[in-house]
Amino acid sequence: RRSRERAKGANHLPRETTHRRPMGKGGDGGAQAVSGTDASLAEVSSVDSKSVHVVLYGKRVDVTKFQKAHPGGSKVFRIFQERDATEQFESYHSPKAIKMMEGMLKKSEDAPASVPLPSRSTMGTEFKEMIERHKRAGLYDPCPLDELFKLTIVLAPIFVGAY
């Protein structure tokens, strides 16, 4: 009897729909209840849209078709949806991958003016200059002694534990 009353009472409540705010928009990515009448067409289409765009080097790149083939998975594209991911792209990708991206950049439009571009800010450009100075100084070159040291750190506990 109580369950019938609850169900009957539930019919009188305003109808609510739940949708997720896309990550990377300054939100928490959590679900929010929105009245079915308050949700605008733009909000619904942005939530239901399957196209994914990421901003790289000041261009809005459509990565929808590339999502499944991306070695790092598609989640990274959802995180950086409509955001500047230039610094992260350069940090995690090889020169070969950067060359591949150049082809996609040629087909892409400029990013909207409303999208902030941290990679082009004063701090972003100074950071990039610092990295270039460090590369020229050889700080990014592989060092065999350093690699041997890291290998020793990993293997020494195994040999000590076996003894």
> Which three-class secondary structure state does DSSP give residue 56?
strand
Identify the band that residue 31 occupies on the pLDDT scale cut at 50, 70 and 90. Answer: very low
- Kindly report, residue by residue over 73-121, the tens digit of the pLDDT: 888 888 889 888 888 888 888 888 888 888 888 888 888 888 888 877 8
- 113: its two tokens: 């003016």
Q: In this predicted structure, what is the pLDDT of residue 24?
A: 46
Task: Count Cβ atoms within 10 A of the Cβ of residue 127 and give its class: 0-12 exposed, 13-18 middle, 19 or more buried.
Answer: middle
Identify the band that residue 49 occupies on the pLDDT scale cut at 50, 70 and 90. Answer: low
Strand-strand pairing, 59-62 and 109-110:
antiparallel
Q: What is the pTM of this model?
A: 0.49
Q: How far, in whole angstroms, is CA 109 from its chain's centroid?
A: 19
CB 74 within 8 A of CB 67: yes
